[in-house]
Amino acid sequence: MKECVMTDLVLVLGDQLSPDLASLRQTAPGEADILMVEAISETGYVWHHRKKIALVLSAMRHFAAELEATGRRVVYHRLDQARPCTSFTDAVERALAEGAYKRIILTESGEWRLRKEFEGWRDRFDVPVVIVEDDRFICSHDRFHRWAEGRKQLRMEYFYREMRRETDLLMDGDKPAGGRWNYDADNRKPADADLFMPRPHAVEPDAVTQSVIALVASRFPDGFGDIEPFRFAVTRVGAEAALDHFIDTALADFGHYQDAMLAGEAFLYHSLLSAYINIGLLDPLAVCHRVEAAWRAGRAPLNAAEGFIRQIIGWREYVRGIYWREGPDYVRRNALKATRPLPEFYWTGETDMACLAATIDQTRREAYAHHIQRLMVTGTFAMIAGIDPHAVHEWYLAVYIDAFEWVEAPNVIGMSQFADGGLLASKPYAASGAYIDRMSDYCSGCRFNVKDKTGPDSCPFNSLYWDFLDRNADTLRGNPRLGPVYRNWDRMSDDKRQAYRDRARDVLDTL
């Protein structure tokens, strides 16, 4: 009779494609089966961009092959198999019915939704369930809680400084390189259309990726976004090449123009590395060390290196800490009591507002928009129009290739929509059309007049900005950063204030 050998079952998720993942380190090759699942539930809990589905599935299949090449046994469930798994729970139940396992091991998930599912396995299954912390992040949960404990305001800048000290990135001894912690003030130049724009790193889809593209096109014919052309890397080697390309061609000018927007230029000098970092193909700290090395070698100015590194060890780590500290109800917060439905043009891009049309059309094509397009165009409009922040959250989670709830939700609920009441942001990121006109060339091609404040052809951002402040005055007037703005509003004549209200009502009625 054949001896039954008990092994471990290690679950690896689609955003955990790292060979040194904490759960993988619990066992050696030959001691465990690695379970990877293209679960139906993961493709449908929001309306994901089809490029995002293709990226994750292709990267998972390549990672499974990488694990097998190192001697790991991989049990892989595909979405296009005869009976695909409906969920991770379904996949584990099948595994336990077919094999003898002594433990289920997994690295913690990045979402409350999955944490609840996985923690329920301890009561559901008759084998121990071991959930280990995801140490691919620089700041542990405990470390963030200790930093946040007792603070009245959880401002990213102070957290960022501690991360700089702990990582020793861009430090000269115990002082920040160049004498300043933050060079954001040097990173706000508008771009010119005649600037040389580097093209982002592109990868020709291999046979595996082509099969995934065909699967996604067939299974999600009415899904959001263009599936082709597909240029993303799906392996660690490809992601490393994308990092090399960014440092060689775009890092030097990234800082100056990181807030700029240009019609027809989706990428400018941005890295497009966030998706690779978020699914585990690139290590965030290693990426930061590469950028620091480029600065120290004289290949990029300090404001570019600092601005890039701040996004990773500052902002990325900070929003993850906020997400887990604030709990699963964070995505339902609505401090400004905004209830208007999300306009249909957020999905179609069919609007006469040139800035929104350009950003949303780009998002449909590329599954990408940079942070200022997200914050100051689609985000600002949603906030000043009073759109339900949970609907906005689900839209951002759906449409961007780098969006996972732990990173997306605080950016939207906290920073973009001010729906957490100021826990994350010190003031709402509200703006009139003047900001977009200053930082882009969108307004020159728009049918609305950005200089007109209240006329029938005036830029909708202009009236909505003041109407937003007016209808939220009870909540926002006490904000010290908005004091001068409210004093301007108070100095306006009654007729002028009413003209803003009337024009805003006309705009909102057309949504």
Over residues 353-372, the mean pLDDT reads 97
Token digits of residue 116: 């609840």
Contact present, 442 and 355 (Cβ < 8 Å): yes
Q: How confident is the model at residue 150 (pLDDT cuts 50, 70, 90)?
A: confident
Residue 333 has pLDDT above 50, yes or no: yes
Residue pLDDT, tens place only, 492-507: 999 999 999 999 999 9
DSSP H or E stretch at residue 293? helix 284-296
E-strand spans in 198-263? none
DSSP H or E stretch at residue 74? strand 73-77
Residue 237 has pLDDT above 60, yes or no: yes
Domains in the chain, CATH or no CATH each: 7-132 (3.40.50.620), 141-198+250-326 (1.25.40.80), 345-510 (1.10.579.10)
Task: Spell out the residues 6+ positions from residue 380 whose beta carbon is closer than 8 angstroms to its own.
Answer: 416, 429, 430, 431, 461
**Per-residue b/e over 328-341, b at no fewer than 16 CB within 10 Å?**
eebbebebbebeee
**Cα pseudo-dihedral 139, 143, 147, 150, rounded to 10:** 140
**Would you state the pLDDT for residue 190?**
84
Cis-peptide, bond into residue 229, ω within 30° of zero: yes
Measured between alpha carbons, how far is 132 from 22 in angstroms, rounded to an integer?
A: 7
**If you ran DSSP here, which 8-state letter would residue 236 be given?**
H
Residue 327 has pLDDT above 70, yes or no: yes
Least confident of 17-31, 144-158, 453-467: 144-158
**Would you state the pLDDT for residue 191?**
80
Residue 386 phi, psi dihedral angles, 5° rounding: 75, 35
Residue pLDDT, tens place only, 116-142: 999 999 999 999 999 999 999 999 999
Q: How far is CA 263 from CA 134, 196, 201, 364, 443, in A?
A: 39, 15, 20, 15, 10
**Would you state the pLDDT for residue 1?**
33
Inter-residue long-range contacts of 339-342, CB under 8 Å, 24+ positions, other chains counted: 339/386, 339/388, 340/385, 340/386, 340/387, 340/388, 340/508, 340/511, 341/387, 341/388, 341/391, 342/382, 342/387, 342/388, 342/391, 342/392, 342/395
Residue pLDDT, tens place only, 49-73: 999 999 999 999 999 999 999 999 9
Residues of the chain with pLDDT > 90: what percent? 91
Q: Of 321, 372, 343, 387, whose CA–CA distance to 143 is shortest?
A: 321
| pTM recorded for the entire structure | 0.95
Measured between alpha carbons, how far is 367 from 134 in angstroms, rounded to an integer?
A: 26
**Would you state the pLDDT for residue 241?**
98
**Would you state the pLDDT for residue 186?**
79
Over residues 406-425, the mean pLDDT reads 96
Q: Beta 171-172 vs 175-176: how paired, if at all? A: antiparallel
Token digits of residue 402: 């780098």
Over residues 421-437, the mean pLDDT reads 95
Q: How confident is the model at residue 194 (pLDDT cuts 50, 70, 90)?
A: low
Q: How confident is the model at residue 291 (pLDDT cuts 50, 70, 90)?
A: very high
The 7-11 sheet, strands edge to edge? 73-77, 32-37, 7-11, 101-107, 129-132
E-strand spans in 108-241? 129-132, 171-172, 175-176
Measured between alpha carbons, how far is 63 from 17 in angstroms, rounded to an integer?
A: 6
Measured between alpha carbons, how far is 357 from 488 in angstroms, rounded to an integer?
A: 31
Q: How confident is the model at residue 184 (pLDDT cuts 50, 70, 90)?
A: confident
**Would you state the pLDDT for residue 3?**
44
Q: Of 28, 14, 11, 19, whose CA–CA distance to 131 is shortest?
A: 11
Residue 261 has pLDDT above 50, yes or no: yes
Over residues 232-239, the mean pLDDT reads 98
Residue 2 has pLDDT above 60, yes or no: no
